[in-house]
Structure 1
Amino acid sequence: MLHLRLITPAEQTEEAVRLIEGTRGTTHLCVLTGAARDPAGDVVLCDVAREAADDLLSGLQRLGLDTTGSIAVENVDLSLSERADRAEKEAPGEGADAVLWEHLTEATHEESTLSVTYLSFLTLATMIAACGVVLDNAVLIVGAMAVGPEFGPLAGISTATVQRRPRLAVRSLIALLVGFAVAMVLTVGFSLFMDAVGLFTKEQLEADRPQTGFVYAPDWFSFVVAVLAGAAGTLSLTSAKSGALVGVAISVTTVPAAANAAVALSYGDTVQTWGSTEQLLLNLLGITLAGTLTLLTQKQLWRKQHARLRRRAAA
């Protein structure tokens, strides 16, 4: 269940209440007349099943409450209520299949903003991966994958494509390209420093590396894994399965490939630099393509399911 808290101008409260009451899957409706001060108006509270929330939010936005008042949504971790159970049964579809498009857009907007924190995480992840590729240490590679925040901008590009929001697409693309550029440049400096103090050597980089050699040897399996990971990551975002997203993060070689390219560049090894860059671009393309197709599929399936349920209700 989700909890909605609305601030409505007094003249729009009845209209908002009628919309909520007419939406299958809502319950626990409460109206606090004149309770809001900034902006002034009434406070309307209700719980709604996840699968009914997107339609309700769209209706509230059509009323203009996102401009004249406020719409806030929170997850309900526990609800001991027969009314809530009944509301979830009455709501069309399954909660796990529902996509809250506004929530997804907001989440990807936040994750795809070029900030100091984003650049710091991506740079640190790339430096950790640099240590991993030089030492041929798979544990460090996995750790770097988990730290990397690059899935946010990739999901932002997919969401923006499906929702036709060019500003989000541009913001996400800038965060992705600038983020990797800054991380790789700083990792080149980090590699030169580590070489100067004797912790990195060119011989280590060019030696046989059975654990990490794959990061500069792209093949069809790289693309297939990126596509599968992109689909899984998108599903984890739309269904709020954060645990699955961690698994996605450690299954693709974006950050390790960027790290290997940076270290190889610092030693003038063009073969590994180009190979790692190809691996990076192949993974980014596969994840973005899969994410976009997954969202399009979810959108179509949800529409068909709703149309079928409406036909049943009409009959």
Structure 2
Amino acid sequence: MRLVQVLIPNGTRESVLSVLDDEGIDYAVWAETGRGNFEALVSFPIPESGVESVLDRLGAAGIQEDAYTIVLATETVVSERIDALEERYTGLRISRDELVARAKDLAPARSTYVAFLVLSTIIATAGLLLDSAATIIGAMVVAPLMGPAITASVGTVLGDERLASRGVTFQVFGLVLAVAVGAVVGFVLKETVFLPPGLDIRDIPQVTERTSPNFLSLFLALGSGLAGAISVMRNAGSALVGVAIAVALIPPAATAGLGIAWGFSGVALAAGTLVLVNLLAINLSALVLFYAAGYRPVEDETRDAAGVRRAVATRLVGIVAGLLVLSVVLGAVTYSEFVTNEFEVQATGAAHAMLNEPQYEGLTIEGTTVDYHGIDILTGEPPRVEIVVGVEGDAAVPQTLAERFDERLQSATGTDPTVRVGFLDEQVSP
């Protein structure tokens, strides 16, 4: 429920009150005794979904932008008369003007934005190096990235180029800054006692997770953008949703920075690709949802519905084109992960099945290690499999065991792997 207060310009009182009467809205009117530009103040309660349509009608009746209109959130309205309005205005979204106000509130001042972004990136970078998911999530609470993403989409659908440009600029600048901060932190910590000597960031699970972008990453970003848009237009849960948006952007940006610091171009490119995919997907889903929800600009001599539709379509085409290009990378990574995982499952199963045969009694597999990655598929490198075989007592070990494993794995997987077999002697008490 909202409480709307409007200062009525001189000469428009009758037309304004006529609109409220037509809408069946109860109101209270006070004479205005200020500077003389307004003749009265009218105050009325209305469900939040009815604010936009009523303000549009009041605008046609003489309440222009140079007047004063205040929309307040109310805790409770006690009156049976309000039921009719609630039945009439049954939507859930907030008004266009409230949406703009919330978008502006979510986009902080530049200095505040930079400070929170730098701090969140430093924390996220430390979390990556510590392989601490809890630390990374904590950094996301600080990250201020939801505001610019929402601001860009709101500005586009409402034809506010200044708002849209500010949102896009803040997003691009913020993510470039995050990559730079991650790189600086990496350079500073790389040769210090805070990290183990010779640390290879590619072996850290939290880093590896963000250097293999696949289509599941796209779904995460799309969901985050939709959740952000819903939380804003329904005025619920924005802080928690902001964490989801930040999770999709800050950790991969920090990972790209670490890739630069360690000189691993593959890490930097893979994480950078993930950042771009997530950024485009978040903006795409938020933009589509706001437009589908019916948000449109107030038509005047500078903005018209056709122009806004063109602007929305242009931005959608640009975002979708970018996603299609990056989807080639996502598809390649997704396919390579499927192929390598399938090979590992098949190879491990075939090796165990082979030693379960009677002629290999006394031999057991103690462990298998498969070294096979997506880049190997592109370069044509064969899979590398290491098998540790336990030998019980006087069990006979065939001299050609490695070749037999090779033939069995080749038959099972359709590839020609390189097999290395190690042995672990065992003594079993009677």
Same fold (TM over 0.5): yes
How far apart are the structure 2 equivalents of 1:10 and 1:269? 69
Moved more, 139-148 or 15-24: 15-24
1:37 to partner: Cα distance: 4.2
The 5 Å alignment of 1:1-315 reads: 1-24=1-24, 26-27=25-26, 29-37=27-35, 40-89=38-87, 91-94=88-91, 96=92, 98-112=93-107, 115-195=110-190, 197-200=192-195, 203-204=198-199, 206-242=201-237, 245-247=239-241, 249-250=243-244, 252-299=247-294
How far apart are the structure 2 equivalents of 1:176 and 1:189? 20
How far apart are the structure 2 equivalents of 1:202 and 1:2? 61
Q: TM-score, normalised by structure 1?
A: 0.84
Moved more, 102-111 or 46-55: 102-111
Question: Which of 1 and 2 has higher RCO (CA within 8 Å, sep 6+)?
Answer: 1
Q: Is the 8 A contact 2:149 2:171 kept in 1?
A: yes
Segments of structure 2 that go 5 or more residues without pairing to the other structure are 296-430
SS at match of 1:146: helix
Q: Is the 8 A contact 1:162 1:295 kept in 2?
A: yes
How far apart are the structure 1 equivalents of 2:97 and 2:56? 9
Q: Is the 8 A contact 2:113 2:144 kept in 1?
A: yes
The residue type equivalent to 2:293 in the other structure is Q
Q: Is the 8 A contact 2:191 2:197 kept in 1?
A: no
Q: How many residues align?
A: 294
Q: 1:212 to 1:80 in 2, by over 3 A?
A: farther
1:114 to partner: Cα distance: 5.4
SS at match of 2:203: coil
1:283 to partner: Cα distance: 0.5
Segments of structure 1 that go 5 or more residues without pairing to the other structure are 301-315
Q: 1:53 to 1:165 in 2, by over 3 A?
A: same
SS at match of 1:31: strand
- Structure with greater proportional helix content: 1
1:289 to partner: Cα distance: 0.8
Match in the other structure for 1:311: none
Give % identity: 23
SS at match of 2:12: helix
Render the CA deviation track for 1:135-186: whole Å, top value 9, x for unaligned. Answer: 1110011112222111211112222222232222211111111122233323
The residue type equivalent to 1:55 in the other structure is S
1:246 to partner: Cα distance: 0.9
Q: 1:234 to 1:205 in 2, by over 3 A?
A: farther
Render the CA deviation track for 1:35-79: whole Å, top value 9, x for unaligned. Answer: 444855321111111121110122233345343420111111222
SS at match of 1:7: strand
How far apart are the structure 2 equivalents of 1:183 and 1:38? 52
The residue type equivalent to 2:243 in the other structure is A
How far apart are the structure 2 equivalents of 1:200 and 1:22? 71
Give the superposed CA RMSD.
2.4
How far apart are the structure 1 equivalents of 2:36 and 2:215? 56
1:202 to partner: Cα distance: 7.6
How far apart are the structure 1 equivalents of 2:252 and 2:196? 18
Match in the other structure for 1:309: none
The residue type equivalent to 1:51 in the other structure is S
